[in-house]
Structure 1
Amino acid sequence: MINYQLVIEIPELDLNSHVISHAASHLLQLPFNSDLLQALQAKAHSQTADCLYGCAPAGRITLLPEKLWHDAQTNTLTAALRSLLRSPTSSRLIVDCTLFDDSNRAVMCHLLHFLFNQDYQLSDLGFKREATVPTPRIQQLVFFCLPEQLATLQTCVPQAAAAAMGMMAARRLSDVPSDRCTPAFFASEVASQIAQYPSLSCEVLDEQQIAQQGLGLLQAVGKGAVNPPRLVVIRYQGSDDGPFSAYVGKGITFDTGGLWLKSGDGMYTMKYDMCGAANVFGLMLAVAELKLPVRLVGVLALAENMVGPAAMRPGDVVTSYSGLTVEINNTDAEGRLVLADAIAYGSKLSNGGQQPEYVVDLATLTGAVVKALGYDLSGLMTENELLRSTLTKAGLRSGDPVWSLPLDARFSKQVESNIADLCNTPTNNAAISTSAAYFLSRFCPADIPWAHLDISGSALWRENGHSVASGRPIPLLVQHLLERLEN
């Protein structure tokens, strides 16, 4: 993790320091070249002003327009920094936080998560062997603030660092190619990485145990693959009593669509169909790092959706863990199948005799949510108004927003089957995202509040034709837990 410090006095600079600020900053009282500084300040009123030469006592100065520091909707601040930091020239960043207050807290949180996430790069996976020119890695973040901001930053910065640590663990696992990241590999990585936290433990069910325990939908999806399915249960015990809640993640480590085969283009990013499970795993690490006094359980449903002699077929009827029967009328709607069993399984888990106060599932579930909301918003579907309200507010405060889509009994006809209790896709191809959510709602007991986050748009960061894992919505969920503790 990148080291950090908070300072209220102008820090000492050297040629390895990169100052990130704005035109009216107190930081500019340093003895910079006056002509250079005036030119940068004039430019920074309307656009990014960046200089790598003649910046002594610093090595680099970047001044960003003030409007970027207040833009909570389009994240133009981090967008401007992303290109600059793609090839950093300094290992020490001096970040000006003096413009932040309650009105733009989301911008601050988004910036903090972004900066701490610079500790992980795709090249860290070690697959690129060609020689490249080495660039400095960011090793220290210095946050300069006003005295009246210090208390807020002393709370927010460690929280963002912990959330980013979980995000990077999730991103790293999600970015691993699917020939390596099989369900068994995923499960072993979880067990290995949580071992350093006494508050975390896990249990892994293999394919025989999945069948024995009646997880019929997870078994149906995974049985067509050479690499068999796994169910991973992670427990976090941050206290002996108090809130207990469950998080469920879709972990399709590769999705061909099964016999309902995807096109080649549609299959290319399907190693990321396990981001929901990876992000639940990352959330558990972040909470353990923060040592929150809560009790959580994470249920990860891991499988490959492949074509093979034993693959599930359209028209198959399968009995779920909850006892409901499901007609599989589309094998490419497999995510809701594994989630349904995992939601039912998670809702039955207890801690000290207490059932979960709520269940939240995360899934790259439908392309339809991207058509509805784009790439910046996660779709939120729930019939519980308290969960809707608290998750929405946490999203706004964390800079990791969600947007609600409708969910109620009007969508029940979308999952009706003539032969089984439910079918897994609507035959009329309408309301795809909400129909999937309504299907999932049938597997959580009515007395346990449940919410579904469709992260098909937000789970990836897309740039220049390439996609990588984003680690969202871990910031949202960490913020939600923190606010529940405050209240």
Structure 2
Amino acid sequence: MIEYQLCSERCPVDSASHLISYPQSALPASLGAPETLLQSMRADEGRVADAAYGCEPFSHLTLLPATLWQHRQAAKLTDAWRALLAQNAAASLIIDCGLLTRQANALALFHLLFSLDYQLVDLGLKTVSDDNKPARVSRLIFYCQTQQQAHFSALLRQAYATAKGMNIARRLADMPSDYCTPAFIADEVETLIAGYPDLSCEVLDETQIKQQGLGLLQAVGKGGNNPPRLVVIRYAGKAPLPFAAYVGKGVTFDTGGHWLKSGDGMYTMKYDMCGAANVLGLLVAAAELQLTQPVVGVLALAENMIGPAAMRPGDVAVSYAGHSVEINNTDAEGRLVLADGIAWASRMIVNGQPARYVIDLATLTGAVVKALGYDLSGLMTQDESLRHALTQAGQRCGDEVWSLPLDERFAGQIASNIADYCNTPTNSAAISTSAAWFLSRFCPDDMPWAHLDISGTALWREKGYSVASGRPVPLLIQHLLEDMEK
């Protein structure tokens, strides 16, 4: 990970440093920036002022408007930083934290900066000459007032661990699906957690999945050459408390099955396992932070392919929870693997206790993108306490959710004549909430449960291509921390 330092007094500055501050800050002058340059850059405080010449002792000096630093939507600040860093790269960034008075803005920015440690080229799949290798940030220096040091030190520790989990998730999600199969992910989990004494895992292969009665996960995975896996990761925690459970959709590639997607719709389907990747990242971040609460992650992994053994429209499969499901759409496979994962998590006992709550996360429906766009994750739950806590956590860390309705009015959307449920509504209405209502049937009514549809937020979409974002790991870490305080 990138080296970082928090300063309240002068730190050494070299010619490889890029200082990012704001117009009225005293920091640039105190670090030696020419006053004449600063006066010219302050001339129009409402715009980004950028200087690459005559700004010694820095290689670069940027002043971002105060309105960006303090905007009530953290994405405004991070978007500005992302555009800035795409144009200008320096080995060392000096960040003036004077206007980071909103915790959401501070955490969102810190997550972005620590996430610079991973880039697509790190996958090793593209030949890049030494002359064309992108410049990398290797050092971050954060400046704050002495009285702010304890506050920013805690936020940086949280963001550093969170970003480490995000980067693990992003790397896994960005990997092509011919590499990143269910078995590959299971192996990666075992390798990654080896360095964390508080993390352990168990893996169910296709034979054990069938023996254990995970009929929905089996139905989705049986059509592919790469068989399904169920991976359960445990973080022991520091106290024998009820554990927090997270279930991730891990469809490593989704053709749609016999409900075949178009070519354009299939292109990004290697990212249909972002939910599972982010659950892995979350568990690593929890171990990095040495959280008190035990945490369990369930990764439901399968390919949704076409073949002689692939599930067909009209098939009926029996879930781990014992419910029969009519598969009336083979391209609604994510809720099938999640349903078995949710049932598995809800039946687990750790420290003699069931889960405190179950939260699933998935790139589940395109409908949630049409409803909420790319900045907000969809939240669906019937537990008002969990709804409120996740909403507040998202606002405090800049990884926000928006709640959609969920109650028995959606029950008719998953009614089947031949089975207990069908996996999609036949009227194409309320797609996202109908999927959530389906998932809710696989968690006991007395156990708090929430569904996060991250179809819009799991990716960054820039310059005509998509890369994994690592969301909603920041939201879930923030929620865990706040939940422990209670």
When the two structures are superposed, what TM-score results if normalisation uses the length of structure 1?
0.98
When the two structures are superposed, what TM-score results if normalisation uses the length of structure 2?
0.98
Give the corresponding residue for 2:125.
127
1:80 counterpart = 2:75: no
- 1:75 is paired with a residue whose SS is helix
Q: Which moved more, 1:411-420 or 1:77-86?
A: 77-86
**In the aligned structure 2, how far is the partner of 1:115 from the partner of 1:259?**
42
Q: Which moved more, 1:88-97 or 1:110-119?
A: 88-97
**In the aligned structure 1, how far is the partner of 2:215 from the partner of 2:473?**
29
- 1:318 is paired with a residue whose SS is strand
Give the corresponding residue for 1:106.
104
Give the corresponding residue for 1:261.
260
- What's the CA shift string for 1:77-135, capped at 9, x where partnerless? 2212212222543211110001122xx21111100100000110011111111435234
Q: Residue 324 of structure 1: CA displacement?
A: 0.3
**In the aligned structure 2, how far is the partner of 1:191 from the partner of 1:148?**
42
Give the corresponding residue for 1:15.
15
Q: Is the 8 A contact 2:362 2:453 kept in 1?
A: yes
* Counterpart amino acid of residue 72 in structure 1: R
Give the corresponding residue for 2:176.
177
* Counterpart amino acid of residue 68 in structure 1: L
- What's the CA shift string for 1:6-61, capped at 9, x where partnerless? 11123331111110100111212233223222111223x12111111111111110
Q: Residue 240 of structure 1: CA displacement?
A: 4.0
**In the aligned structure 1, how far is the partner of 2:242 from the partner of 2:72?**
31
- 2:438 is paired with a residue whose SS is helix
Q: How does 1:409-420 map to 2 (within 5 A)?
A: 409-420=408-419
Q: How does 1:1-12 map to 2 (within 5 A)?
A: 1-12=1-12
- What's the CA shift string for 1:233-280, capped at 9, x where partnerless? 000001241231110000000000000000000000000000000000
Give the corresponding residue for 2:402.
403
Q: Is the 8 A contact 2:201 2:234 kept in 1?
A: yes
Give the corresponding residue for 1:92.
92
Q: How does 1:77-476 map to 2 (within 5 A)?
A: 77-86=77-86, 88-101=88-101, 104-131=102-129, 133-476=132-475
- 2:250 is paired with a residue whose SS is strand
**In the aligned structure 2, how far is the partner of 1:90 from the partner of 1:457?**
31
- 1:42 is paired with a residue whose SS is coil
- 1:46 is paired with a residue whose SS is coil
1:36 counterpart = 2:37: yes
- What's the CA shift string for 1:349-407, capped at 9, x where partnerless? 11122000100000000000000000000000000000000000000001000000000
**In the aligned structure 2, how far is the partner of 1:178 from the partner of 1:134?**
25
Give the corresponding residue for 1:53.
53
Q: Is the 8 A contact 1:88 1:137 kept in 2?
A: no
Gaps of 5+ in 2: none
- 1:178 is paired with a residue whose SS is coil
- 1:475 is paired with a residue whose SS is helix
Q: Is the 8 A contact 1:370 1:456 kept in 2?
A: yes
Please give the root-mean-square deviation of Cα atoms over the aligned residues, in Å: 1.1
**In the aligned structure 1, how far is the partner of 2:340 from the partner of 2:89?**
49
Q: Which moved more, 1:1-10 or 1:17-26?
A: 1-10
**In the aligned structure 1, how far is the partner of 2:212 from the partner of 2:72?**
46
Q: Is the 8 A contact 2:423 2:435 kept in 1?
A: yes
Q: Evaluate the alpha carbon distance shift between residue 135 and residue 306 of structure 1 in structure 2; reply closer, same or farther with a 3 A threshold.
A: closer
Q: Which moved more, 1:28-37 or 1:419-428?
A: 28-37
**In the aligned structure 2, how far is the partner of 1:135 from the partner of 1:460?**
21
Q: Evaluate the alpha carbon distance shift between residue 143 and residue 130 of structure 1 in structure 2; reply closer, same or farther with a 3 A threshold.
A: closer
Give the corresponding residue for 1:70.
70
**In the aligned structure 2, how far is the partner of 1:241 from the partner of 1:154?**
28
* Counterpart amino acid of residue 23 in structure 2: A
**In the aligned structure 2, how far is the partner of 1:464 from the partner of 1:59?**
27
Q: Which moved more, 1:271-280 or 1:25-34?
A: 25-34
Aligned residues: 484
- What's the CA shift string for 1:136-187, capped at 9, x where partnerless? 3111111100122112101111000000000000000000000100000011
* Counterpart amino acid of residue 460 in structure 1: L
Q: Is the 8 A contact 2:29 2:35 kept in 1?
A: no
* Counterpart amino acid of residue 106 in structure 2: M
Gaps of 5+ in 1: none
**In the aligned structure 2, how far is the partner of 1:257 from the partner of 1:483?**
39
Identity of aligned residues (%): 64
* Counterpart amino acid of residue 54 in structure 1: G
